[in-house]
Each structure stands twice: as structure tokens, then as C-alpha cells.
Amino acid sequence: MGPKKVDGVGVGLIGLGTVGTATVRILIEQADLLNRRLGAPLTLCRVADVDTTRERGLDLPPGLLSADVDGLLGDPDIDVVIELIGGLEPARTYVLQALQNGKHVVTANKALLAEHGAEIFAAAEEHGGDVAFEASVGGGIPLLRSFREGLAGDEVASFFGILNGTCNYILSRMTKEGADYEEVLAEAQSLGLAEADPTLDVYGLDTAHKLAILVGLAFGARVDLADIHVQGIEAVTPLDIKFAAEFGYRLKLLAIARRQGDAVQARVHPTLIPDHHLLADVSGAMNAVYVTGRYVGQLMFYGPGAGGGPTGTAVVADVIELARNRLAGAAGRVPPLAMPWSRLRATPIIPMDRVTTKHYFRFAAIDRPGVLSAVSGILGRHDISIEAVNQKGRQVRGAVPIVMLTHEAPEKNVDQALRMIDELEFIAAPTARLRVEDLDAERPD
């Protein structure tokens, strides 16, 4: 057993990995400042982890760390439980148990919330507990708080987020150096900027988890993760990054959400955005979200999306918030998703084939007369009009690249047209395709 809570608020933390270690460090090093802010002592009573022996560079009071999660969840001294083990199980069980035991919960677990948010938020409402999860999206950026409270006086029309530092790092390097995806990924792995198994990041699923959470907050919408269109960066080539740059665009993996009547768009894919836009300058492992509100206009939030220190500050900010609620007897004062769970609307996500965007295409054409006419004829018959076209002199594997920007066209038409074009005998390889968003034109309806 660790320190006893004498007064104020007691905290227990499960999962002493990178974020957990940074969180404990902040709670210890900044104890005086945090107590001044709270006006009452915050006591870290217990820390639980399966590995109790690894050296983490922390000077923990004796008895604080153990493997005893049940003891932590049942400790009457503990008011706030911090869950930082990640993954679905046993995190889900621990969070539900904490709420059943009358605790408040802070978590950084986006997968858990994206997959089991409904169950967890309902349990919180049932047991009168608070659930806070600032650290689950955008690392150290106070993003969820801004959506939930800062924008409480407005109606969000759309947002565009760079939410995965690993992908943004890889794309930034590919853009700057013209390097190949595999090469940069391998380097990112050796630098610890990408996981040994990078699937969750590079295939876009981590971004989709975060998008699901933000959509709930921004639109008061209950959405189903399975309905979010997800495409990662694994097929991106430096060639398309370069050609798009010549049109004045830069490539980012974006989480995109837009209110459209009673439904929402919610999609994750590599996206070309104007290179003069503030969001285009968000490089390396940094994250940012660009938001358009009906009354406020445009906002951007920028900061480190990962890392122990940054994410730890978000965890501790949540602890302070829940501690303030507890001291004021005001648990449940602000519902986790900005409005009571019962008032959230089950909101359909518009199927991807009905979404309309601008496109970038790169056709691999064998150089002969009539190619451009055939390609543009097919596009025209699918109501896809061309904004700019550029036939490149350089041969790439025996074919000449023709790159093209289109005006807005429905996905369905684009899918059909590309299928037809790729069957033409003088098209040597599948057409490369990227969606384009002109963010400056983004205006509330």
C-alpha cells in the first residue's frame, strides 16, 4: 500500500508504460503547483502494473507500485482511477469496474472509447461517475476540452485533423526528401517514431478511432466506427507527392468530418490540401485540427500528438478536472460527450460512394495519339470535369504520367470512371488517385 489520502482527492493509476511513467512524474514533481491549483491535496495512493520491477527512473514511495489491480479498484481512498494500459481488454473490464465502484475515470484509450464508448458512457451515467479522456486524441493538445466546452456556444460545421504523428512524420519526410514509404517507415521504426507493428498507425485505424471520438463531441452524434471510411498511407508514392506539389498541394493523412443535413461525413484518407494553408505547415510528428464553426469561423489547435510528457499533461489536466468536480460535489457536471448520452443523436455517416470531393489522378499512359481524348471522354461521361491537366514528359516504367486535378465529383462516378479507364489497353498501370480538400473554401453552411 502506498500513501494514504488524508484529505482532498485520492488517485490510483493502472499501467506504468511511457504515458503512465510521465504522468506519475508530473504528479510527483508538480505536486505543490497542482495542490495550489486545486486548493486541496492530490494524493497518488496506488500504482498498478504487471511489471513491478523494471527501472523507470521514478523515485516512488515504497509500497506504491504493485500488481494488485483489484486492490486499487476497491481502495476507498481512491476517487479517481487512471487507466493507461491501452487496448480493449482488460482495460474495458477495469474501467467498468472502477465506475461500478463509484470511482471517476481518466483514460487515454482511444481504441476502447471508439469501440466500447456506448457501454462506458452509459455506465458512467448510471453510476454518477465522470469519464475524462483528453489524452486519447491529440496528445497534449487541449482538444476535447475545446470541443466540449470552448465550442459549447457554437455549432461545428466541419473539421480536418492531423491526428497521427507517425503518419505525419512519414509523409513529411517523403515530401521533403522524395523518399519511398518503406524506407522512411523503416527509419521511423529505428528511431522509435513508429511501432514495430505499425499497422494501427499507417493503415489509418488509430486516426479513425480518434475521429469517432471527435465526431461524437463535435456534432453530438453517436456514430458507428465501422461506418467510417478508412484508408492509410501505405500506398502513397513520392511521385504523387511531387506531382501534387506542382499543382500547389501537400499530402496529409486527414481525419475529416463535415455536418451535412442530419448526417455527417466521417472519413480518413490521404488528402491533398493547399500548400499555403496553415495545416499544410504542420510537419513531423505534430498534430493539429482545423475547425470551422457556424459563428466562430476558423480555428486551429496545434501541438504534440504523442509522447509521454505531452500525453501525461493531458492525463493530469483530466485528473484536476475530475478532482475539482469531486471537491465541488459536481460529478457529471459536463457529460463526457458534451451533452447527456441520452440526448446524443444516432447519426448516420454518409456512405463514401455518396461523398463529393475534388480529385487528383495520375494515369500511367502509353504514349500514343488519342490517349488524353479517351481518358477525358470517360471522365466527361461521368460528369467529372477537369480543373487542370499536366502531361509529364518523363517516362515512368515505359508509360508517361498524365496528372490531373478535377472539380468536385461524387466518389461513385470517380470509382466507375477509373474502372473503365484502367481497362483501356494503353493504360499501363492502375490509376493513382488522391482526394483534394481546398480548406480555405471551407465555410459554415
> For binding to a copy of itself (CB under 8 A), which residues are involved?
22, 26, 30, 33-34, 36-37, 39, 134, 140-142, 145-146, 149-155, 220, 278, 281-282, 293, 295-304, 307, 309-310, 312-321, 324-325, 327-330, 332-335, 338-340, 343
The answer to whether 8 and 43 are in contact (CB under 8 A) is yes
C-alpha cell at 442: 471551407
* Nearer residue to a copy of itself within complex by CB, 26 or 403: 26
Q: How far is the CB of 364 from a copy of itself (least distance, A)?
A: 35
| Burial of 128 from C-beta contacts in 10 A (0-12 / 13-18 / 19+) | exposed
**DSSP string for 228-284:** SEE--STT--HHHHHHHHHTTEEEEEEEEEEEETTEEEEEEEEEEEETTSGGGG--T
Vertex 96, ends 95 and 97: CA angle to 5°? 90
The total number of residues shown for the chain amounts to 445
Q: How far is the CB of 286 from a copy of itself (least distance, A)?
A: 8
* Nearer residue to a copy of itself within complex by CB, 51 or 281: 281
Catalytic residue among 103, 110, 210, 358: 210
* Nearer residue to a copy of itself within complex by CB, 295 or 415: 295
Cα 351 from Cα 144, distance rounded (Å): 26
* Nearer residue to a copy of itself within complex by CB, 264 or 414: 264
Short-list 303, 306, 19, CA closest to 167: 306
* Nearer residue to a copy of itself within complex by CB, 37 or 354: 37
How distant is the alpha carbon of residue 145 from its chain centre? 15
412 is catalytic: no
**SS3 of residue 323 by DSSP:** helix
C-alpha cell at 45: 495512493
The answer to whether 171 and 180 are in contact (CB under 8 A) is no
Q: Which residues are catalytic?
A: 210
